[in-house]
Amino acid sequence: MRELRGQVAVITGGGSGIGAALSHACAERGMRVAVADVEESAAESVAEALRIRGAEAMACQVDVRSRDAVEELAGAVDSKFGQTHLLCNNAGVMVTRPLLELEEKDWEWSLSVNLLGVIHAVSAFLPGMIARGEAGHVVNTASIVGLAAISQGGLGAYTTTKFALVGFSEYLREELKAAGAPIGVSVVCPGAVTTRIAESERNRPDELQTGPAPAHSESDPRVATIPGRQSPEEVAASILTGVEEDDTWILTHPEMKPLVEARTRALLAAFDVAAARRPA
Ligand SMILES: NC(=O)c1ccc[n+]([C@@H]2O[C@H](COP(=O)([O-])OP(=O)(O)OC[C@H]3O[C@@H](n4cnc5c(N)ncnc54)[C@H](O)[C@@H]3O)[C@@H](O)[C@H]2O)c1
């Protein structure tokens, strides 16, 4: 089991929801925590709460869409805490519009935060983590819709980014293993969690606006009817256990298994179809 005490954690999107709960859970494990978020005041208030409970914490304003900003974050964490051991790529946004109504700017925002943001952080932090030779871990937060598409709620762009993130994470894990680097990679695929994800539009930059934001709230029936909503604290606890056990997939909502089972069955059946259609 991986020992986290005394190590350094960086959490993007640490100012709210799962990231804030993860920041607290890391502090509880005795880690030093860098809380990074595009919302400076949110990052600062989580870091302050950690310091009040006796943890070492720093707040960093960062927009993960910017490679330069993420490089600066890596430098700031290195100067203050030294080597990063646990990189949690948690920042994410959810655009909710039917696929055929999505505009170029919707795609740009979704892809630049949910996918490029993770790529930026991996590029900024991994070389240093590998060079220092100490054990480390990367956690990428995807979603259950990264394992099975649910065609409701206008989640087409979100689903696209999360499927890509699952593939990116699996590939990164294998590549690091093949290189003999002592860095694990996990991808987290939660179902519904009680956070502010439905209010993602609050962080959409002016230049990527596409008109009035659709109204989404806790009472949104598409969200409310998904069974097994968990608290961010429950999900954060599962994530850290998964890191300690070096799990490839950290699945938090067992009630979602039938969705993935159905997709996997259909996928395997398609191989049988291919075999049957192959000319003798
Ligand atoms: N809430 C759910 O039901 C659910 C389910 C599956 C996966 N997820 C994923 O969990 C992760 C955390 O989301 P959450 O549910 O806690 O939502 P949240 O909105 O409460 O938190 C997301 C955080 O990311 C930050 N953020 C947004 N854009 C950013 C950017 N460009 N740069 C840096 N930070 C940025 C926000 O300021 C916020 O603090 C996301 O990747 C989300 O896709 C959430």
Is 245 within the bounds of a domain?
A: yes
* Per-residue pLDDT, 221: 46
Pocket of ligand 1 (CB under 6 A): 12-13, 15-19, 37-39, 42, 62-65, 90-93, 113, 141, 143, 190, 192-193, 195-197, 200, 203
Is 48 within the bounds of a domain?
A: yes
* Per-residue pLDDT, 125: 98
Q: What is the mean pLDDT of residues 156-184?
A: 98
Among 81, 125, 158, 168, the one annotated catalytic: 158
- Could you give the CA distance from residue 10 to residue 58 in angstroms, rounded to a whole number? 10
Structural domain containing residue 62: 8-277
Provide φ and ψ at 13, rounded to 5°. 65, 30
Q: What is the CATH number of the domain that holds 193?
A: 3.40.50.720
158 is catalytic: yes
- Could you give the CA distance from residue 139 to residue 166 in angstroms, rounded to a whole number? 11
Segment 188-234, tens digit of pLDDT:
999 999 999 999 999 999 999 997 655 544 344 434 455 679 999 99
- Cα of 129 vs centre of ligand 1, distance in Å, is 24
- Cα of 14 vs centre of ligand 1, distance in Å, is 8
Is 2 within the bounds of a domain?
A: no
* Per-residue pLDDT, 225: 56
Segment 20-33, tens digit of pLDDT:
999 999 999 999 99
Is 1 within the bounds of a domain?
A: no
- Cα of 93 vs centre of ligand 1, distance in Å, is 6
Report the atom number in ligand 1 closest to the C-alpha of 19: 16
Is 42 within the bounds of a domain?
A: yes
Kindly report the average pLDDT of the chain as a whole number: 94
Residue among 12, 37, 45, 72 whose CB has most ligand 1 atoms within 8 A, to mutate: 37
For the chain, what is the domain count? 1
Is 103 within the bounds of a domain?
A: yes
- For 263, the 3-state DSSP assignment is helix
Task: Please tell me the pTM assigned to this model.
Answer: 0.95
- Cα of 101 vs centre of ligand 1, distance in Å, is 23
- Cα of 276 vs centre of ligand 1, distance in Å, is 44
* Per-residue pLDDT, 211: 76
Which residue's CA lies nearest to atom 42 of ligand 1? 92
Is the dihedral angle over the CA atoms 190, 194, 197, 203 positive or is it negative?
Answer: negative
Report the atom number in ligand 1 closest to the C-alpha of 141: 41
Is 3 within the bounds of a domain?
A: no
Segment 42-97, tens digit of pLDDT:
999 999 999 999 999 999 999 999 999 999 999 999 999 999 999 999 999 999 99
33-71 burial, b at 16+ Cβ within 10 Å, e below that, comes to bbbbbbeeebbbbbbebbeeeebbbbbbbbbbbbeebbb
Report the atom number in ligand 1 closest to the C-alpha of 39: 37
- Helix, strand, coil shares of the chain as percentages rounded to 5? 55, 15, 35
